[in-house]
Amino acid sequence: MLQVNWLSLVMPMATRLKINWILSGIVLISLFSGCGQPEVQPFALAATPWPAGEATVYQITDSNGAAAGTARYTLTAGASENNGESWTIQRQIVAQGTTEVVVVVVSQNGLRPQSSLLTRINKDGQQIVQSTYGSDGVDTVLTSVQNITTYDHFNVPSDALDVDTVLQVVRALPLAEGYATRLNSFGTTTGRVERVTVQVIQQELVTTPAGDFATWQVALETPTTKTSAWIGRDDARPLVKYVDGRNGGTFVLSEYTAGQ
């Protein structure tokens, strides 16, 4: 049976050529858009790598490379009321006239946030943000430097991590060549949920005041920021270095206490 190409009968040659080029371009875009892009895996944690009592200290430089202060993380095991075994992740930053302490309690199974307390002190006074994570979202209590208290409730996905724990949680991911995943994070001071793409970029040897470390270089990208982190490849997976995409500060490990 004779097959008739109706398109060739009703459409001028120039128009047909233009369509063919467009279709060819679409095919090429489809073929090449995935090249070099890692396959995003479902978010799933491996075993928690850090021992209880781990403490790390970092030297901070600002975006211009000038010394800005220090940061300290401590991770302790415990039990929270009605929530079973937990980890307490504490970060203290002393930089450029401001002291900020964040204490976040997360479940040992899944590292889901349960509560957080942020205290920020500078020349203007003290600001406190208390947050409680529940099945229906997050409740926050903000006490301003003027001692004014504000209450808020935010509808947050149940799988959202506290933004101040994300770098530590990345340590518990199954990092490997070509690895990528996505997660949700919630900022208690901004009230904003962000989708974070986590991708292993390469292996890299990093020299710090605490020693030399074989690391995975990892990119953490949101629609508005990109943070780079270097995670040790040994069993403890220490956070060796990171460049904060929000403020451009660089944090380099200067002291490491392994804990027990």
Domain layout of the chain by residue ranges: 54-257
Report in angstroms the alpha-carbon separations of 33 from 25, 57, 70, 121, 198. 12, 41, 42, 48, 19
pLDDT value of position 82: 58
pLDDT in tens, the chain (260 residues): 333 333 333 344 444 434 344 444 433 333 334 445 678 999 999 889 999 999 999 999 999 999 999 999 999 998 765 557 899 999 999 999 999 999 999 999 899 999 999 999 999 999 999 999 999 999 999 999 999 999 999 999 999 999 999 999 999 999 999 999 999 999 999 999 999 999 999 999 999 999 999 999 999 999 999 999 999 999 999 999 999 998 899 999 999 999 77
Token pair 């109706």: residue: 6
pLDDT value of position 83: 58
Q: Letter for the amino acid at 52?
A: A
Q: Letter for the amino acid at 45?
A: L
pLDDT value of position 16: 43
d(Cα 246, Cα 121) in Å, to the nearest integer?
Answer: 19
Beta bridge partners of 218: 200, 229
pLDDT value of position 34: 43
What are the phi and psi torsion angles at 29 (to 5°)? Answer: -60, -40
